[in-house]
A and B are shown apart, each in its own frame.
Chain A
Amino acid sequence: DIQMTQSPSSLSASVGDRVTITCRASQSISRYLNWYQQKPGKAPKLLIYAASSLQGGVPSRFSGSGSGTDFTLTISSLQPEDFATYYCQHSYSIPWTFGQGTKVEIK
């Protein structure tokens, strides 16, 4: 199985900060990498698919990059509604696996 490792596990940031979350795959997954946002008590929401494509309706302050084994999710200017947990997930081959999550908290 492909293992997905996110870093950091949590971070504290202020409104307006630029935030970067990284995700590393245990083997090359090309660009089969998706990012989700989850708020407490809610289902996850798709933000980015295929490493860098923005899902419809998602603000442009979210962006993704990377290929192969190393990927990043960037929030260019953190907004109050962005405080949440973020997960990466590969769709390269079954079984799909998720990273352990990165919790973005208010500083």
Chain B
Amino acid sequence: EVQLVESGGGLVQPGGSLRLSCAASGFTVSSNYMSWVRQAPGKGLEWVSVIYSGGSTYYADSLKGRFTISRDNSKNTLYLQMNSLRAEDTAVYYCVRESQSTAAFDYWGQGTLVTVSS
């Protein structure tokens, strides 16, 4: 059974940093396309970043180099390093697998809440 379990969210001050983790089971992270998608409170969904099986990474333009996606193949875990956090980064962050055959987000984690506030 495919499972994605995020952790690492919490309250952080503006300008601070946080690293989110996503532990995967039932499939191999390094063989798949993995994304982070976020949702601000009461708002819609926003794609944040993707790491492809070959290692290429891409980001939403709005992040302007503040976030870094990575993975640890030995731990089958996806990460999102978030620096210089702003109030507008407050959101639930979902770890998502993108099916290579359908180009759709077929498995989602339960999400982890990041709150940026002083």
Question: A residues bordering B, Cβ < 8 Å?
Answer: 1, 32, 34, 36, 38, 43-46, 49-50, 53, 55, 87, 89, 91, 94-101
Contacts and interface: CB of A to CB of B under 8 A. Distances in A.
A34 B104 contact: yes
Interface residues of B, number: 21
Contacts, number: 60
Interface stretch (B20-28, B45-53, B76-84): B45-53
A49 B104 contact: yes
A69 B70 CA distance: 33
B45 A49 contact: no
B60 interface: yes
Contact of A87 (B45, B102, B111): B45
B47 to A, nearest CB: 4
B103 A32 contact: yes
